[in-house]
Amino acid sequence: MSDDFVLDVTRIRDDARRKMAAGPVTDTYGLDKNRVIGILNDVIATEVVCWLRYTRHAISASGIDRAQVSSEFTEHAKEEMQHALRAAERVSQLGGDPDFDPASLTRRSHTDYTTPADNDLKTMLEHNLLAERIVIASYQEIIRWLGEHDPTTRRLMESILEEEEEHADDLVDLIGV
């Protein structure tokens, strides 16, 4: 293996000056920027639907274990909304428009919005665990696809994935499986 790395700083500076309007996206960006923006907009939709589901379950939950389950749902809901906002910020950095259109959220989301009976905490927990497992699998595929081509988006997705895995672990503990 040879070590003939050469960095042409003069060329990089000239390119940077000529393409200032492109913001953080340089010629070395390794993917179709519009495809990444589309995928991130689907992530936004998924996270917003998860936020809505967790919020609805937190508010409507009833029964003997309501306080503990509702508290966990509330915590997860806040984190899901933060995930959506972080993905939206990355879309904006890439020069796209974050898509929060309510008319298309459920169509673009990887997960479903569910409304089990208020006293059926077990079903609420199971629906949220199922959603977390779907998100974990789909985000892992996104991360693999991004690879080394877009390390910033990959790290963002890895960070979100880590929290989604924590959510799934919390839900498994509450279900008692």
Q: 28 pLDDT exceeds 90?
A: no
Mean pLDDT (the chain, rounded) = 94
Q: 22 pLDDT exceeds 80?
A: no
Residues 6+ apart with CB under 8 A from 150: 29, 30, 31, 36
Residue 8: per-residue pLDDT: 86
Say which range, 1-15, 32-46, 153-167, has the weakest mean pLDDT. 1-15
CA distance 114 to 21: 43
User: pTM above 0.75?
Assistant: yes
Asked if 57 and 128 count as a contact pair (C-beta separation under 8 A), the reply is: yes
Q: 29 pLDDT exceeds 80?
A: yes
pLDDT band, very low/low/confident/very high, at 20 (cuts 50, 70, 90): confident
Helix (H/G/I), strand (E/B), else coil: 32: coil
122-164 pLDDT per residue, tens: 999 999 999 999 999 999 999 999 999 999 999 999 999 999 9
CA distance 132 to 47: 10
Q: Give helix then strand counts, H and E, for the chain.
A: 6, 0
Q: 48 pLDDT exceeds 90?
A: yes
CA distance 64 to 156: 38
